[in-house]
Structure 1
Amino acid sequence: MTHHITLRARALPLVAAAGILVPVAAGAAPASAATTPQVSCTSGKAGLAAKLQRDITAALATRSGTVAVGLHDRTTKTTCTLRATQAYDSASVVKATVLATLLWDAKKTNRYLTTRETNLATAMITKSDNAATTALWNQLGVTKVKGFLAAAGMTRTVPGSGGYWGLTRINVTDEQRLLSLITARNSVLSDNSRAYILRLMGNVVTSQRWGTPAGAPSSVSVHVKNGWLQRATRGWRVHSIGAFKGAGHDYTITVLTDGNSTMNYGVNTIQAVSKVIHRDLVPTAPTASRYTPTSTPQEAYVAVPQG
């Protein structure tokens, strides 16, 4: 039996100020009366959907900005979504897609990656190196990126134009689709390719160990790719995608945000959501060792057009 629950996320009303969403003081009328999107959860495990929906909603109740969330756990057949189709500038999260495209393209021509490509891929994922990303993006070209997106079923992802790969438009649905391809056997990516992506995402440098892994128990393997950038409108975009396996679970989490006043504000929002997801899926004793995110999160600053 699948248990389903949908409730409205409790959040402060938001209005646009200089292009950035900010909370409205109590009693003030919001600029529009748009319905707040709802956190929707389903699960094959009794009580889990309701608990996740309640806890994710509570984690976001005091957060400003626009947050999109995706969760899927294969083991308990659990899925949660919030703003699943809303589009965001990708920032460095797109680097996982660039690597998947490279491996998909190599598979089509039945070849191994060159030493240059492996060096660039390692730098791109583990250090979030922008120059390495640009080199691979230019090598592949937008046509091949679009080819991978079509093969992967990532139908709403739009590659950035003019060389601005960090302005690729992404959403929760497509990022969760990418993570599903990385974490389970499929015809798009080979088993070796999937293992390679996971290995790199599992070895990011300390300064980038933040985001969706926050609160993950020590019994779960962690694979992550984060990103952020700032633009003149809608403030800081801060994102994190992660894959987790162990303790009888196999799950992926995507959290995309914008309208953040600072980078750290977005990081804290993502980690608040992630902590309750890990806790609800894999409850452990309070003394259990957990994944501790860095206190000084960093990420490569992605170039965007001026103005």
Structure 2
Amino acid sequence: MPRHRTRRSALSAASVTAVVLLAGSAAGGAYLAGRSPDPSPAAVASVSSASGPPAAAATSEEPEVDLDAELADVLAPLTAGADVSVAVLDTESGRSAVYGDGAYDTASIVKVDILAALLLLAQDEGRELSGAEHARADAMIRRSDNTSATELLRAVGGEEGLDAANVRLGLTGTTAAHAWGLTRTTAADQVRLLQAVFGTESELSAASRAYLTDLMGRVEADQQWGVSAAGDGWALKNGWMPRTTTGLWDINSIGRVENGGHTYLVAVLSCGHATKEAGVALVEEVAKAAVDMTGEALSGTR
């Protein structure tokens, strides 16, 4: 049964920011010299009458599903003992749900951020990407090539340039790192980034957004896992790596999916997996559960 909270309001504005933990990546994250590319893959109903006395403004007791609580109920049994954070945003209603919090290493999902920063730079300079930039952007997003990410981070001014771009993109809890996979971010910021890529109110031009969307929709076959399990029409970027200190895996996935006639922005971030395969399986299960729960709760079928 859905949890509700009652609020006194005639107009509701629901635009909640989603949060996701993204873990670091050596294969899908922090760049180390000589490291090869990733191996695998947000009326006052004033009743008035011309012929009668002014009517008092009506107030309504409007029940609203507590999506965070609903999501926690759904995910707690699935994530017992796992370090995972999830955020999902229904783009039509603006409603979102968040499970977990904290800041985590981005791993290779930062590559979306790096390309967004490069596109902003090109817009500012009134130019298209060069041939070399196009080639590196394609390799960085579709193949998750680490060398390309290092070159493009340098092109945008390093970590200082990425931080400056993130201010324009509306990110408030992300701190770039020279070893780009160790950039720290929050789930809320990853949803903000996805909104900048897939939304219309963005510093990125329509052409820049379309370019990023196209690349994220054509990642190589062995990298088409993650949030894609939650629906169709996906466009995504994943990050994965074993941590040298523990041997445990960080597995992250962010992107857009379509489900039940709605479009969702989803971020799932996790760490501490014994194997990559176990991490991927959990990320996919959690992404699907989060999207299904949100759709059911907003449609009143839960």
Which letter does structure 2 place at the counterpart of 1:119? A
2:82 is the alignment partner of 1:65? yes
How do residues 231-246 of structure 1 correspond to structure 2 at under 5 angstroms? 231=243, 232-233=245-246, 235-245=248-258
User: Is contact 2:3-2:70 (8 Å) kept?
Assistant: no
SS of alignment partner, residue 110 of structure 1: coil
Q: Contact between 1:122 and 1:200, CA under 8 Å: does it hold in 2?
A: yes
Match of 1:268 in 2: 281
Q: Given the alignment, which residue of 215, 223, 227 partners 2:239?
A: 227
Higher-RCO chain (CA-CA 8 Å, sequence separation at least 6)? 2
**Secondary structure class of the residue paired with 2:119:** helix
Q: Give 1:153 deviation, angstroms.
A: 2.1
1:233-263: per-residue Cα shift (whole Å, max 9, x none)? 4832110001124643121010111122222
Kept in 2, the 8 Å contact 1:73–1:252? The answer is: yes
Assess, with a 3 A threshold, how the Cα gap between structure 1 residues 265 and 3 changes in structure 2: closer, same or farther: same
Root-mean-square deviation over aligned CA pairs:
2.4
Q: TM-score, normalised by structure 1?
A: 0.70
Unaligned regions of 5+ residues in structure 2, if any? 6-61, 297-302
Q: How does 1:179-218 map to 2 (within 5 A)?
A: 179-216=194-231
Instruction: Tell me if the contact between 1:75 and 1:248 (Cα under 8 Å) persists in the aligned partners.
Output: no
- Identity, in percent, stands at 33
| 2:165 aligns with one of 142, 148, 155 | 148
Query: Match for 2:191 among 176, 180, 200?
Result: 176
Deviation at 1:83, TM superposition (A): 2.3
Secondary structure at the counterpart of residue 128 of structure 1: coil
| One-letter amino acid matched to 2:159 | V
Q: Report the Cα distance in structure 2 between the residues aligned to 1:88 and 1:234, rounded to whole angstroms.
A: 17
2:46 is matched with: none
Structure 1: any 5+ residue segments left out of the alignment?
A: 6-43, 284-307
Judging changes above 3 Å, is the alpha-carbon distance between structure 1 residues 45 and 125 closer, same or farther for their aligned structure 2 residues?
farther
Which residue does 1:134 correspond to in 2? 150
Which residue is 2:75 aligned to? 56
How many residues were matched structurally? 236
Instruction: Tell me the distance in 1 between the aligned counterparts of 2:267 and 2:247.
Output: 20
Change (3 A) 1:155 1:46: closer
- Residue in 2 aligned with 1:89? 105
User: What one-letter code is carried by the residue in structure 2 that aligns with 1:145?
Assistant: L
Larger radius of gyration: 2
Residues of 2 paired with 1:57 and 1:271: CA distance? 15
Change (3 A) 1:45 1:118: farther
